[in-house]
Amino acid sequence: MKFLDLAKVYIRSGGGGGGAVSFRREKYIEYGGPDGGDGGRGGDVWAEAVDGLNTLIDFRYQQHFFAKSGQPGMGKQRTGKDGADIVLRVPVGTEILEEDEETVIADMTEVGQRVLLARGGNGGFGNLHFKSSTNQAPRRANPGQEGVERTIWLRLKLIADVGLLGLPNAGKSTFLAATSNARPKIADYPFTTLHPNLGVVGVDNAEFVVADIPGLIEGAHEGRGLGDQFLGHVERCSVLLHLVDGTAEDVVADWRTIITELTEYGGALNEKPRVTVLNKIDALSDEERAEKRAALDAVTGDPVLEMSGVARTGLVEVLRALRARIDADRLRLRADTEEPGPWRP
């Protein structure tokens, strides 16, 4: 299944049915009077956050959603049938935007959350509604109210506890594969990851969700490389895991590149708690490890951890550091009593 995190959708609520102009006609009843019924109400358009979805791929193949219109009223005081509602089922974490792609209509953050996008039109009054002592045979009825038509955008921001950041080939996908059951594509060339991946990791009988996004490069906020289109997926994270490639010539420059892109992107991403990790230490000598770690310690102001995703060294310490930064109410305790470990069986 392909990943899609942005979709344009056209919606229209149902129009109301028109009222009926009708008169009672029965044998031996000379003046039956009006008996035209009201029109039925048009269907609404709703959006609902459902469990089990993590992409908007369904909206690539269907972009138009039209609710049913109400049926017209009928004689014998019969009201027309209401039009059926239509529901757009979206993943949790979906933002619904106006056509300008800036105005937020709703933010679907919980399973079962529903929001009304377009209200159906009311049905028109039949001539029975206009009967009075001075007008006992009205020959007028109201038309139904028209439905609402609008264009909206759906933008998915994945709900994760930890967001992975780093330059291309920093080892983000390797870390996710080593600590969870996720199987992202791993190769020795840049931009191997082209869309976000999610993995559930466990440590010390607690679980949390990690999101791996494509690597950033200098100028990403201006659209270079894959741009900043995927940074929205880590806006909701409690903590960011910044992986720095230990085999790079200047680890401090690489670290500053990512921090600059977070600052330029905005959304308070640069203010989120971060855990900085010097990765790929299995390819470094003890002297190089100490030198590069000291350089990162000086610029980050916080202790820098060391890790190797390939050799699975230091994974437990990194996961425990992440768990300590995640809000307690977002952690999920494991039901089993297995020994704690950095990856799931």
Task: Consult the annotation and say whether 57 binds a ligand.
Answer: no
* Residues 11, 65 contacting (CB under 8 angstroms): yes
Task: Consult the annotation and say whether 167 binds a ligand.
Answer: yes
Q: How far, in Å, CA of 61 to CA of 85, rounded?
A: 20
Task: Consult the annotation and say whether 326 binds a ligand.
Answer: no
Task: Consult the annotation and say whether 168 binds a ligand.
Answer: yes
Task: Consult the annotation and say whether 174 binds a ligand.
Answer: no
Task: Consult the annotation and say whether 96 binds a ligand.
Answer: no
Question: CA 94 from chain center: how many Å?
Answer: 3
Share of the chain residues as helix, strand and coil, in percent rounded to the nearest 5: 20, 25, 55
Task: Consult the annotation and say whether 64 binds a ligand.
Answer: no
Rounded to the nearest 10 degrees, the angle between the axes of helix 251-265 and helix 286-300 is 30
Task: Consult the annotation and say whether 170 binds a ligand.
Answer: yes
Instruction: Report the half-sphere exposure of 37 (CA within 13 A, side-chain side).
Output: 17
Task: Consult the annotation and say whether 171 binds a ligand.
Answer: yes
Task: Consult the annotation and say whether 212 binds a ligand.
Answer: yes
Task: Consult the annotation and say whether 217 binds a ligand.
Answer: no
Task: Consult the annotation and say whether 308 binds a ligand.
Answer: yes
Task: Consult the annotation and say whether 109 binds a ligand.
Answer: no
Task: Consult the annotation and say whether 19 binds a ligand.
Answer: no
Residue for token digits 């390819």? 283
DSSP 53-111: ----THHHH--EEEPPPPPPPBTTTBPPPPPPPEEEEEETTEEEE-TTS-SEEEEE-ST
Task: Consult the annotation and say whether 213 binds a ligand.
Answer: yes
Task: Consult the annotation and say whether 193 binds a ligand.
Answer: yes
Task: Consult the annotation and say whether 194 binds a ligand.
Answer: yes
Known binding residues for Mg(2+): 173, 193
- The binding site for GTP consists of 166-173, 191-195, 212-215, 279-282, 308-310
- Residues at the binding site are 166-173, 191-195, 212-215, 279-282, 308-310
